[in-house]
Amino acid sequence: MTNAATTKAFFIATNRATVNMVLDNIAAHYGISRADAFTEVTDVDAESLLDYVTGHARAATSVIMQKHGLH
């Protein structure tokens, strides 16, 4: 599974609040919009989602990914 496919599967498996938390974290860190963050992490050439997420949100994202067998 590609990084983009894993990220898409994560977004499908989680709720809207979690998706927004992750995208808001990425957007704030990179100074981009939530929509641009989504485009970046779901691009065919994207890195692992965890490479984009920072701080406490990164640990939370990792745990949720593990829960869904995506990490």
pLDDT digits (tens, 9 = 90+) for 5-48: 999 999 999 999 999 999 999 999 999 999 999 999 999 999 99
Instruction: Choose among 3, 12, 15, 13: nearest CA to 53.
Output: 3
Domain count, the chain: 1
Give the mean pLDDT of 53-65. Answer: 97
Structural domain including 38 reads: 3-67
Q: How far apart are CA 46 and CA 67, in angstroms?
A: 22
CB atoms within 10 A of CB 53: 22
Q: What is the pTM of this model?
A: 0.94
Radius of gyration of the chain (CA): 11
